[in-house]
Amino acid sequence: MKTYRERSREELLAMKEELESDYKKFQERSLKLDMSRGKPSAEQLDISMEMMDVLSSSAQLKCREGVDCRNYGVIDGIQEAKELLADLIEVPADKIIIYGNSSLNVMYDTVARSMTHGVCGSTPWCKLPEVKFLCPVPGYDRHFAITEYFGIKMINVPMTPDGPDMDLVERLVSEDAAIKGIWCVPKYSNPQGITYSDETVRRFARLCPAAEDFRIYWDNAYNVHHLYEEEQDTILEILEECEKAGNPDLVYKFSSTSKISFPGSGVAAISSSLRNLKDIKRQMSIQTIGHDKVNQLRHVRFFKNLAGIQEHMMKHAAIMRPKFEAVLEILERELGGLEIGSWLKPRGGYFISFDSLDGCAKAIVARAKEAGVVMTGAGATYPYGEDPHDSNIRIAPSFPPLDELVQATELFVLCVKLVSIEKILGSMQAS
């Protein structure tokens, strides 16, 4: 099979004419398909519906310690919820605080608290001339939105198959005291599905930052979000590695059940050193009298333990796996060997990361939208929405029904082919 660049101008023009005809047929279907966000499908939400039955008006709503979960109190979460989420993210139960429904909210609060009151007694960031964050790219757009909102300068760090470029991370962090943090999605990363290697985790734990208030923002979003029962990525536990390295305060570890139970109605948590947690609780005691303990109790009684969560996640996998495999099969069948795009095959998480030819991503996404398929905006996986290569596109297979997902992916590869041919023809003309 010839690659697109190996074809003559005449061959490419003939292909373009045929592809334009196919594209018009898609437009005539008046599709309205959404692949823009990594939302669970209705089928996934259905498997958690029995959670609504575990509590009723006659239920005993006291937690193990005898606290009435309907009332005020227990600012850092009921003990059984601490134990459940601690087991989920592999930390001791005394090193976790249970929050409300969203880990994104916890991350926002953590940055906001650092801006206004500093970190463990350090100078508040708002009083510093400049604050910077490292951002592994491609990465999670909502992470970048938080730091951009607070006026924090973001610095791109390329991802590798083992995680962020640690040579660059180590050098930047050790040289610049204005760098106060780094965003990380260490397992089944958003959007590439990469899991950090053991050596990467150990190097994070051994960092020697110039800033005493530097912290690793470790977003444990997809810890149990496997696609396969037997082929599952594993990762070293970062808090334990930090303690071994003599850096116990170096990391904030975030998690939630949002894509386990109900997004927007889950339970979120932060785990860190006892010193960091004490600092956080000072702010929490002003901010709230306590989060939703009834919801915490509901989750505990539904899942019971880590084994219950793991069993539940295999139900999610049974729904997600065919969708990922369908997208990957179409990508390979239609684009394999053409050298106009590349992609990774994740074993978990919520996304497939696609890289087009340089300068093509925005045009591909625009073409798809014109034919009725909405995708995550090109550039969203980079700070400020600026992909320097205009090449990365995040594919989100979870939300559409399988038949709609297949249609959307077939349109997507058609758009990739069309835009790539236009790009190559343009370069031929320029030369």
What Å distances lie between residue 388 and 132, 361, 391, 392, CA to CA? 19, 11, 8, 10
- For residues 311 and 74, give the distance between their C-alpha atoms in angstroms, rounded to a whole number: 29
Residue-level pLDDT at 429: 78
pLDDT of residue 93: 96
Q: Are 347 and 120 in contact (CB under 8 A)?
A: no
Predicted TM-score (pTM) of this structure: 0.96
Of 181, 204, 201, the closest CA to residue 122 belongs to 181
User: 351 with 394: CB under 8 angstroms?
Assistant: yes
Q: Tell me how far apart the alpha carbons of residues 428 and 431 are, in angstroms, rounded to a whole number.
A: 5
Please name which of 208, 202, 267 lies closest in space to residue 239, comparing C-alpha atoms: 202
| The pLDDT value given to residue 103 | 96
Q: Which helix (H) or strand (E) holds 306?
A: helix 306-335
User: Which pLDDT value is given to residue 97?
Assistant: 97
Tokens describing residue 22: 């196919």
Query: Could you report the per-residue pLDDT of 313-323, keeping only the tens digit for each?
Result: 999 999 999 99
The residues that bridge with 68 in the sheet, in sequence order, are 62
- The pLDDT of 378-386, averaged and rounded, is 97
Mean pLDDT (the chain) is: 96
For position 36, what pLDDT does the model report? 86
pLDDT (mean) for 244-249: 98
Quick one: pLDDT at residue 310? 97
Q: Residue 431: which pLDDT band, with cuts at 50, 70 and 90?
A: low
- The H-or-E segment that residue 254 falls in is strand 251-256
- Tell me what percent of the residues of the chain surpass a pLDDT of 70: 100
Query: What are 318-349's pLDDT values in tens digits?
Result: 999 999 999 999 999 999 999 999 999 999 99
Candidate from 29-43, 215-229, 380-394, 396-410 with smallest mean pLDDT: 29-43
* CA distance linking residue 106 with residue 291, whole number of Å: 12
Percentage of the chain exceeding pLDDT 90: 95
What domains lie within the chain, and their CATH numbers?
4-44+310-430 (3.90.1150.10), 61-304 (3.40.640.10)
Q: Calculate mean pLDDT across residues 35-46.
A: 93
pLDDT in tens, 61-103: 999 999 999 999 999 999 999 999 999 999 999 999 999 999 9
